[in-house]
């Protein structure tokens, strides 16, 4: 009960205005949801197809969306909610399939890893994976660079791994089992950080998870990590902060890792964190919210809920709502204090991307 | 076990035998459970609709199954069980944004 009061007090003290959600939906739309009204307030129609993934610029003024049918890119101005640039990378029968990408800090280029697929008379011929630079003004790929030997196999299930730029735009980071740091001007490898080797005291087999959008620190990549200790191999999870300028890590262990965790979201006061864990598979799958006291790293509450077979976990800009969404047309809104379903936001279209949460002004 | 060193033949054999020394309770215990063989993924399994879950059943599928319909090619690029949205039938769902609600509006496709 004491914990409940503490969580409630923290949420009440958060007086920030509620924000806006951007979610890609079927068939080729980005829906804008007002967090306070919990209603769709705008639709942004994309020009090139169904959105597959979205990223937001560091200044939070621009959303970049990738579309799937013809490997398109769309640039959305957050303030006006208009598409300001859109084009496709496919050229006739040549498909430029990409999964891993990042916009540079100037907003002029997108760096990506592409694998061309060329339609021949009787087959698709799969090209080699390459780095590519997309000039947003020229609306095309202006440069291809071969990947170093062995590099094309690394990262995110064959999908290239996440990419991030250093704040000055000089270095490009590619996240996988190894973090590879490239010079952004010529793609030469300037450094690598082996996460599997026990270079951090008491840790080995460090795996970085998804980025935590709810902890925004300029120039810092904040994400979950999983690791095991070298003696009894006990799996733990925690928060990793990677300084993109200094290339240094800070690991804050939180607790024993569950079979699967759906990211960690931290309330604006940085004191209370929420994650969703799943154990079991198929019909035996059980989903639970975990509430974590961040300063002490203790799990202070768990609550089972009716999870979907496939879903994504999110949190509102104020930390007053927890979202379960994906695989369907609705966003379920849970109360962070009671951890019970409070309401549902009907998008009336199936979701195709993750959610971008922008705080209110 | 880096703090212990095998000093005789038997100890060295034990060391060779044990790849992972001490594993905490959180680690997987015992042999992995047998999983169903689903040839070529979900592409040729037509019961009940177009796929089965990792245990070979349907309890782990999205409910209703229409929730999962569009993900067949958004994340799988796998057009076998649904019309080929990429190349030949790009508009087969043009009138159906929410498959759970509007599946009756999905176009019939005759390859």
The residue written with tokens 């914990």 in the block is A3
pLDDT-derived band of residue A152, with 50, 70 and 90 as boundaries? low
d(CA B54, CA A96): 31
* Res. A154: pLDDT tops 60: no
* Res. B40: pLDDT tops 50: yes
In total, how many domains does chain B have? 1
Kindly report the number of other CB atoms within 10 A of residue B76's CB atom. 15
Please report how many Cα atoms fall inside a 13 Å half-sphere around the Cα of residue B1, on the Cβ side: 14
Kindly report the number of other CB atoms within 10 A of residue A278's CB atom. 16
- Mean pLDDT within A206-234: 71
Q: Which two tokens stand for residue A135?
A: 């000039």
Q: Give the list of residues 6+ apart from residue A108 with CB closer than 8 angstroms, or none.
A: A135, A136, A137
Q: Give the list of residues 6+ apart from residue A200 with CB closer than 8 angstroms, or none.
A: A206, A227, A249, A251
Sign of CA dihedral A274, A8, A332, A43: negative
CATH code for the domain in which residue B79 is found: 4.10.940.10
CB–CB contact B27 A281 (8 Å) = no
Secondary structure (DSSP) of A202-232: T-EEEEEEEE-TTS--TTEEEEEEEEE-TTT
**B2: which chain A residues are within 8 Å (Cβ-Cβ)?**
230
CB–CB contact B24 A232 (8 Å) = yes
Closest residue in A to B33 (Cα) is A281
Q: Which of A227, A295, A199 is nearest to A6 (CA)?
A: A295
- Mean pLDDT within A96-123: 90
CB–CB contact A282 B54 (8 Å) = yes
**B74: which chain A residues are within 8 Å (Cβ-Cβ)?**
50, 52, 68, 352
A110 beta partners: A103, A134
Catalytic residue among B53, B68, B102, B107: B68
pLDDT-derived band of residue A155, with 50, 70 and 90 as boundaries? very low
Q: Which of B29, B34, B13 is nearest to A233 (CA)?
A: B29
The 3-state DSSP class for residue A283 equals helix
Query: Residue A212's pLDDT is what?
Result: 62
pLDDT in tens, B4-25: 788 888 888 777 766 555 555 4
Closest residue in B to A350 (Cα) is B98
Question: Quick one: DSSP state of residue A276?
Answer: E
d(CA A328, CA A350): 5
Which residue out of B1, B24, B69, B91 would a mutagenesis test of the A interface target, given it has the greatest number of A Cβ atoms within 10 Å?
A: B24
- What is the percentage of chain A residues whose pLDDT exceeds 70? 86
- Asked if the structure places residue B5 within a domain, the reply is no
Decide if B71 is catalytic.
no
- Asked if the structure places residue B64 within a domain, the reply is yes
- Asked if the structure places residue B106 within a domain, the reply is no
CB–CB contact B98 A329 (8 Å) = yes
Q: Please provide residue B7's backbone torsions phi and psi, each rounded to the nearest 5 degrees.
A: -115, -10
Strand A39-45 vs strand A248-256: parallel, antiparallel, or unpaired? unpaired
On whether the CB atoms of residues A109 and A133 are closer than 8 A, the answer is yes
**A283: which chain B residues are within 8 Å (Cβ-Cβ)?**
53, 55, 57, 59-60
CA distance B98 to chain A (A): 4
The residue written with tokens 């008491």 in the block is A202
Query: Residue B48's pLDDT is what?
Result: 38
CB–CB contact B70 A352 (8 Å) = yes
Query: Residue A126's pLDDT is what?
Result: 87
pLDDT in tens, A292-324: 887 777 889 999 998 888 888 999 999 999 999
d(CA B10, CA A75): 66
Burial of A104 (0-12, 13-18, 19+ CB in 10 A): middle
pLDDT-derived band of residue A210, with 50, 70 and 90 as boundaries? low
Question: Quick one: DSSP state of residue A282?
Answer: G
d(CA A11, CA A336): 9
pLDDT in tens, B22-31: 555 445 555 5
**Domains of chain A: residue spans and CATH:** 21-86 (no CATH), 89-194 (2.130.10.10)
d(CA A230, CA A232): 6
d(CA A96, CA A152): 16
- Residue-range definition of the domain harbouring residue B59: 34-95
Q: Which two tokens stand for residue B63?
A: 């409910």
Which residue out of B59, B67, B86, B95 would a mutagenesis test of the A interface target, given it has the greatest number of A Cβ atoms within 10 Å?
A: B67
Q: CA A73, A79, A81, A83: dihedral to nearest 10 degrees? A: -30
Query: Residue A244's pLDDT is what?
Result: 84
**A349: which chain B residues are within 8 Å (Cβ-Cβ)?**
97-98
Kindly report the number of other CB atoms within 10 A of residue B14's CB atom. 12
The 3-state DSSP class for residue A64 equals strand
**A68: which chain B residues are within 8 Å (Cβ-Cβ)?**
73-74, 86
d(CA A277, CA A254): 14
d(CA A240, CA B54): 31
The 3-state DSSP class for residue B65 equals helix
Q: Give the list of residues 6+ apart from residue A298 with CB closer than 8 angstroms, or none.
A: A255, A292
- Asked if the structure places residue B20 within a domain, the reply is no
* Res. B106: pLDDT tops 60: yes
* Res. B38: pLDDT tops 70: no
**A284: which chain B residues are within 8 Å (Cβ-Cβ)?**
59
- Asked if the structure places residue B59 within a domain, the reply is yes
**B29: which chain A residues are within 8 Å (Cβ-Cβ)?**
none
Query: Residue A360's pLDDT is what?
Result: 84
Q: Which of B44, B57, B98, B60 is nearest to A40 (CA)?
A: B98
CB–CB contact B63 A309 (8 Å) = yes
CB–CB contact B54 A281 (8 Å) = yes
CB–CB contact A69 B90 (8 Å) = yes
The chain A residues in contact with chain B (CB within 8 A) are 25-27, 29, 50, 52, 68-69, 230-235, 256-257, 281-285, 308-310, 327-329, 347-350, 352
- Mean pLDDT within A248-275: 81
d(CA A160, CA A151): 9
- Asked if the structure places residue B4 within a domain, the reply is no
CA distance B1 to chain A (A): 7
* Res. A254: pLDDT tops 70: yes
ipTM: 0.72
């Amino acid at each position: 009960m004491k914990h409940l009061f503490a969580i409630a007090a923290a949420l009440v003290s958060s007086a920030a205005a509620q924000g806006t959600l951007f979610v890609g939906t079927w068939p080729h739309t980005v829906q804008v949801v007002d967090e306070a009204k919990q209603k769709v307030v705008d639709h942004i129609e994309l020009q090139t197809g169904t959105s597959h993934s979205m990223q937001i610029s560091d200044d939070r003024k621009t959303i970049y969306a990738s579309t799937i049918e013809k490997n398109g890119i769309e640039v959305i101005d957050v303030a006006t909610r208009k598409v300001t640039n859109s084009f496709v990378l496919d050229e006739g029968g040549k498909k430029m399939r990409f999964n891993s990408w990042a916009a540079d800090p100037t907003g002029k280029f997108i760096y990506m890893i592409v694998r061309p697929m060329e339609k021949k008379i009787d087959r698709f011929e799969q090209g080699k994976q390459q780095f590519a630079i997309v000039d947003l003004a020229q609306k095309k790929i202006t440069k291809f660079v071969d990947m170093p030997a062995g590099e094309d196999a690394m990262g995110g299930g064959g999908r290239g791994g996440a990419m991030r730029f250093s704040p000055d735009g000089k270095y490009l980071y590619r996240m996988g089992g190894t973090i590879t740091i490239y010079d952004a001007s010529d793609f030469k490898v300037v450094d690598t950080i082996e996460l599997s080797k026990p270079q951090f005291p008491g840790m080995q087999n460090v795996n970085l998870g998804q980025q935590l959008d709810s902890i925004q620190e300029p120039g810092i990549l904040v994400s979950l990590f999983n690791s095991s200790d070298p003696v009894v191999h006990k799996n733990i999870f925690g928060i990793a902060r990677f300084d993109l300028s200094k290339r240094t890590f800070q690991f804050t262990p939180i607790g024993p890792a569950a079979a699967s965790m759906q990211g960690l979201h931290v309330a604006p006061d940085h004191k209370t964190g929420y994650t969703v864990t799943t154990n079991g598979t198929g019909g035996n799958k059980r989903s639970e919210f975990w509430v974590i006291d961040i300063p002490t790293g203790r799990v202070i509450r768990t609550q089972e809920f009716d999870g979907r077979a496939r879903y994504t976990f999110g949190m509102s800009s104020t930390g007053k709502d927890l979202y379960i969404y994906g695989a369907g047309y609705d966003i379920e809104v849970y109360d962070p204090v009671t951890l019970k379903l409070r309401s549902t936001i009907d998008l009336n279209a199936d979701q195709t991307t993750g959610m971008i949460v922008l705080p209110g002004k | 076990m880096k703090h212990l060193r095998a000093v005789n033949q038997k100890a060295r054999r034990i060391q060779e035998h044990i790849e992972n020394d001490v594993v905490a309770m959180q680690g997987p215990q015992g042999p992995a459970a047998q999983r169903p063989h689903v040839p070529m993924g979900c592409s040729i399994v037509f019961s009940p609709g177009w796929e089965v879950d990792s245990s070979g059943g349907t309890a782990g599928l999205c409910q209703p199954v229409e929730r999962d319909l569009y993900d067949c090619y958004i994340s799988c690029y796998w057009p076998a069980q649904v019309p080929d949205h990429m190349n030949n039938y790009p508009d087969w769902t043009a009138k159906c944004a929410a498959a759970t609600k509007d599946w009756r509006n999905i176009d019939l496709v005759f390859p």
